[in-house]
């Protein structure tokens, strides 16, 4: 499409948005479905492409979707990658808003010679990346609820809302089996530590996604759950033997393939039992991607790399070498390579000088085109912005998400019993403790919800930067209370290296909970369920698995006895509780 035609299309789109507020709303478009690909279109499109155009189809670059002026350098750069470099995919990241995401997706589609495959990490529903869309809890919450119905509903809603915004692929579910409590990057992103439960819930999620017109992606092959290193920063190594890998790491991937998953994402981790070549991550390993995933496991869909900008690859390999090795290993789509135009040129040169067979490129591009055709993009690549207010975050979707948040709440310990809190629990003190600097008011919503139920309860906030003097003063005051409620936070984020609590907070919590004749101490985890292993002295422990407004509201309801607690631990707490443990606490009668 010419720049003039693209500009005209953008102008028409914005005009349509303005008029939509005045004209009667048309009925929403029918929900999309995955179909058999148009073989004729695939063959014709592949035949007409140059080597550079074919390789461009294998590249996916990031974009965000907050408001920007049309002449911003950021937009011009992405427009150039789409219109001139001919990349075949885009990946939506936050910050993003619903309408901006759809408008930009349409705009970039209008610039593309071949329809773009747009993806996003919707691991916890479309609200994971897009503000205003339906937000679900992380997958570990679904593991705690144990409900295939909720997993399927989450997949369905992810697909319906994602497709309405112009997103065709979710890089979910995470099917890594989190058996390492020190895992700093998977943790609550996993369904849990039981390969059977992970497989069952992942299959339900995949079916929910793909039966409603979106491609699901199982990740991070061959399994990132037994690592204590974040592959955004370093390349982890899985030392397990083949027997253990088959029983744990590979088990959910086989189940995902059997469930018909259309894409698998590789992980930047070395697995010597699968490929003994030193220092080679799975993303760049032909024995793992082609030999195991394609050959042994019979996977026919898209193999997508994890982001090639991550240090798990870039610490050892240049951008061009990583891209070359990934293609030779069997990857179909290269995610977020540094300097994509340079990668296209270097791979084209490798094809022309015989280092990469033309057939290897053609096989990947054919799979990508088939994926686009199965989505119907060759017929209509655009979304109807006027449909967004009816298709994104309707009350029915929000109700399903609320059910998931509530069903996940897990009562791990309740000595005394300390819960539910009495209507007048004596002197109640709330301590909101975040292990992250700059997250001082992490528990503000929880404190507000608690004070509505227990008026006048004093609260203290601390983060990773709060000084020792203030901490000592707060804990000294708490020691005189009848009940202390601890709201515990630690963000799970790439390159952070840990999801643990601040050791200074842990030390003071243990001392408080060990006081002879001291207060009842109730701890609520708004993150990793493994916090308890560091504070085993607390009287009660409740897991919510995430810090969101929804989890903070549910936690206050749970402590007050307004809802039943039925969740089960999806992981083991070493030395304390096994997978599947959970106490049932019935709702208090009015």
**pLDDT tens-digit series, residues 280-290:** 999 999 999 99
Predicted confidence at residue 11, as pLDDT, reads 40
Q: What is the pTM (predicted TM-score) of this model?
A: 0.92
pLDDT higher for 189 or 230?
A: 189
Domains in the chain: boundaries: 3-393, 409-559
Please write down the HEC assignment for all residues of 158-195: HHHHHHHCCCCEECCCECCCCCCCCCCCCHHHCCCCCH
Question: b vs e for 524-551, b when ≥16 Cβ sit within 10 Å of the residue's Cβ?
Answer: bbbbbbbbbbebeebbbbbbbbbbbebb
Residue 559: which H helix or E strand, with range? helix 549-559
Average pLDDT over residues 330-344: 97
Question: b vs e for 34-56, b when ≥16 Cβ sit within 10 Å of the residue's Cβ?
Answer: beebbeebbeebbeebebebbbb
Cα(314)–Cα(326) distance, integer angstroms? 13
Predicted confidence at residue 4, as pLDDT, reads 38
| Active-site annotation holder among 232, 268, 397, 505 | 232
Residues belonging to the chain = 590
Q: For the chain, what is the mean pLDDT? A: 93
Predicted confidence at residue 519, as pLDDT, reads 97
Told to judge if 232 belongs to the known catalytic residues of this protein, a careful annotator would answer yes
Answer for the pair 154, 205: CB distance below 8 angstroms, yes or no: yes
Q: Are 3-393 and 409-559 in the same CATH fold?
A: no
pLDDT higher for 337 or 423?
A: 337
Cα(193)–Cα(164) distance, integer angstroms? 34
* pLDDT 10s digits, 132-168: 999 999 999 999 999 999 999 999 999 999 999 999 9
Is the pLDDT confidence value at 10 over 50?
A: no
- Output the CA torsion sign for 158, 260, 55, 328: positive
CATH 3.30.465.10 fits 3-393, yes or no: no
Average pLDDT over residues 525-539: 96
| Active-site annotation holder among 100, 306, 439, 539 | 306
Pick the closest to residue 169 from 336, 77, 304 (CA basis).
304
Please write down the HEC assignment for all residues of 435-489: CCCCCCCCCHHHHHHHHHHCCCCCEEEECCCCCHHHHHHHHHHHHCCCEEEEEEE
Is the pLDDT confidence value at 9 over 50?
A: no
Beta-strand pair 215-221/520-525: unpaired
413: helix, strand or coil: strand
Q: CATH for 409-559, among 1.10.3720.10, 3.30.465.10, 3.40.50.1700, 1.10.150.20? A: 3.40.50.1700
Told to judge if 224 belongs to the known catalytic residues of this protein, a careful annotator would answer no
């Amino acid at each position: 499409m010419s720049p003039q035609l693209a500009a005209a299309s953008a102008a028409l789109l914005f005009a349509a948005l303005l008029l939509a507020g005045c004209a009667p709303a048309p009925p929403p478009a029918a929900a999309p479905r995955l179909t058999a690909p148009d073989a004729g279109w695939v063959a014709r499109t592949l035949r007409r492409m140059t080597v550079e155009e074919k390789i461009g189809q294998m590249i996916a670059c990031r974009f965000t979707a907050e408001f920007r002026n049309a002449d911003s350098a950021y937009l011009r750069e992405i427009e150039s990658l789409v219109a001139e470099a001919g990349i075949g995919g885009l990946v939506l990241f936050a910050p993003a808003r619903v309408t901006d995401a759809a408008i930009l997706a349409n705009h970039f589609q209008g610039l593309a010679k071949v329809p773009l495959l747009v993806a996003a990490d919707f691991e916890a529903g479309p609200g994971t990346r897009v503000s205003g869309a339906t937000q679900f809890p992380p997958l570990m919450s679904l593991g705690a609820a144990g409900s295939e119905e909720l997993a399927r509903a989450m997949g369905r809603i992810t697909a319906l809302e994602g497709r309405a915004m112009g997103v065709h692929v979710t890089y979910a579910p995470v099917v890594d089996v989190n058996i390492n409590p020190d895992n700093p990057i998977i943790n609550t992103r996993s369904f849990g530590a039981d390969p059977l439960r992970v497989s069952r819930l992942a299959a339900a999620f995949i079916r929910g996604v793909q039966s409603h017109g979106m491609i699901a992606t199982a990740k991070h092959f061959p399994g990132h759950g037994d690592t204590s290193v974040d592959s955004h920063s370093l390349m982890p190594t899985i030392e397990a033997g083949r027997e253990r890998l088959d029983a744990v790491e590979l088990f959910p991937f086989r189940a995902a393939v059997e469930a018909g998953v259309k894409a698998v994402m590789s992980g930047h981790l070395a697995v010597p039992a699968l490929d003994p070549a030193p220092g080679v991550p799975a993303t760049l390993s032909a024995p793992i991607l082609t030999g195991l995933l394609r050959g042994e496991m019979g996977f026919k869909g898209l193999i997508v790399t994890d982001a090639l900008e991550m240090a798990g690859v870039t610490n050892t390999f240049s951008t061009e070498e990583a891209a070359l090795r990934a293609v030779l290993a069997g990857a179909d789509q290269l995610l977020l390579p540094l300097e994509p135009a340079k990668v296209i040129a270097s791979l084209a040169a490798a094809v022309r000088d015989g280092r990469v067979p033309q057939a290897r490129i053609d096989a990947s591009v054919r799979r990508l085109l088939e994926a686009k055709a199965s989505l119907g993009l060759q017929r209509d690549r655009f979304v109807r912005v006027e449909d967004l207010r009816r298709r994104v975050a309707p009350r029915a979707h929000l109700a399903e998400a609320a059910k998931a948040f509530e069903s996940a709440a897990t009562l791990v310990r309740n000595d005394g019993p300390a819960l539910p809190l009495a209507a007048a629990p004596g002197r109640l003190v709330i301590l909101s403790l975040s292990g992250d600097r700059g997250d001082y008011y992490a528990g503000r919503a929880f404190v507000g919800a608690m004070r509505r139920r227990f008026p006048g309860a004093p609260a203290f906030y601390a983060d990773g930067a709060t000084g020792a003097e203030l901490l000592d003063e707060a804990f000294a005051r708490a020691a005189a209370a009848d009940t202390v409620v601890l709201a515990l936070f630690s963000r799970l984020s790439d390159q952070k290296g840990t999801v643990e609590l601040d050791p200074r907070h842990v030390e003071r919590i243990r001392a408080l909970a060990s006081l002879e004749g001291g207060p009842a101490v109730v701890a609520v985890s708004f993150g990793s369920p493994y916090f308890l292993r560091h504070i085993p002295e607390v009287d009660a422990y409740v897991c919510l698995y995430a810090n969101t407004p929804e989890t903070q509201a549910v936690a206050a309801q749970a402590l007050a006895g307004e809802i039943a607690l039925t969740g089960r631990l999806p992981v083991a707490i070493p030395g304390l509780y096994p997978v599947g443990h959970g106490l049932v606490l019935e709702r208090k009668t009015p």
